[in-house]
Amino acid sequence: MVDKTPSEVTLAKMADTLRTIPLFHAFRAQDDMLQALGKMMVETTVPSGTWLLREGEMGQSMFILCEGEVEVTKTTLEDEQYTVAALRGAENAFFGELALLDEDRRSASIRSVTECVVLELTREDFEAFGNRHPDVALSIMRELAKIVCRRFRATNRDVVRLFSALVSEVSQQVIE
């Protein structure tokens, strides 16, 4: 049987990585908690061109991008894909975090642009971690709530802009 327990060096490296991620800022000085969380994560090297997440699939885990670059894509009503954003490991990027909150479909697709190194945390492992360390899990949930709120507010602003543009366009056509 192969021992899948991360080495002390690997756990220290994971803790250093997790310390830079905004979700974990509230306890970034607690090496023991960062390492405990790191023990629950799986590190994977992903070749360029690999789909990490697919829009519409059920979400089971979140990912931390340690190295490399990925693109975030959405599908139009005409079934065409367009790039929404590019994320880089050097920017402390993470994605799929809403899967820690609920069992729902992915809202976007993520594809590796370069070879990437990612850490994966499943919802099941996060819940187990939260049962053992509720105070730390609460701080992560608070950060997730802040992220969701920021995105919701941005979406509201975008909807108002789009609606205003549509009303303006329709008004112009009525005048002509």
Q: Where are the domains of the chain?
A: 8-175
Q: For the residues 74-97, what does the mean pLDDT come to?
A: 92
- Per-residue pLDDT at 2 exceeds 50: no
In tens, the pLDDT along 102-155 reads 889 999 999 999 999 999 999 999 999 999 999 999 999 999 999 889 988 988
Architecture of 8-175 per CATH?
Answer: Sandwich (2.60)
How does DSSP assign 67-84, residue by residue? Answer: ESEEEEEEE-TTS-EEEE
Burial of 35: CB neighbours in 10 Å, binned 0-12, 13-18, 19+: middle
Report the alpha-carbon distance of residue 139 to residue 113 in Å, rounded: 32
Report the alpha-carbon distance of residue 161 to residue 172 in Å, rounded: 16
Closest CA to 49 of 95, 109, 3: 109
Helix, strand, or coil (residue 88): strand
pLDDT of residue 1: 36
Residue 50's DSSP bridge partners are none
The pTM score is 0.83
70 CA to centre of own chain = 12
pLDDT of residue 164: 87
Helix, strand, or coil (residue 50): coil
Q: Which residues contact 140 (CB under 8 A, 6 or more apart)?
A: 23, 24, 26, 100, 126, 130
How does DSSP assign 12-30, residue by residue? Answer: HHHHHHHHTSGGGGGGTT-
Report the alpha-carbon distance of residue 130 to residue 83 in Å, rounded: 34
pLDDT interval class at 67 (50, 70, 90): very high
